[in-house]
Structure 1
């Protein structure tokens, strides 16, 4: 697209920048969710182990 010029090119490039920015933000959100899910899993496993210990 190096040879593409004009208002259509500018509009496309603007939308591409918006898309790229949204993709970065989405990736950050998904990473945060993944971290929270992993921590929730670890916490739940620890609670389950503690509960098992109460009945041993």
Structure 2
């Protein structure tokens, strides 16, 4: 498999850590990576509800 959105999609689907996946996607949005638009997050389990890195924080 080549490097690109397909590989990232497979890695995100295989990852079991919801916080890690959400943080990865947040950073990719924040830094405006062009490959982010190609990722389909519909089939990636991102959990439910809000997540906080620090209690009472963002």
TM-score w.r.t. structure 1 length?
Answer: 0.28
Higher helix share: 1
Based on CA coordinates, which of the two structures has the bigger radius of gyration?
1
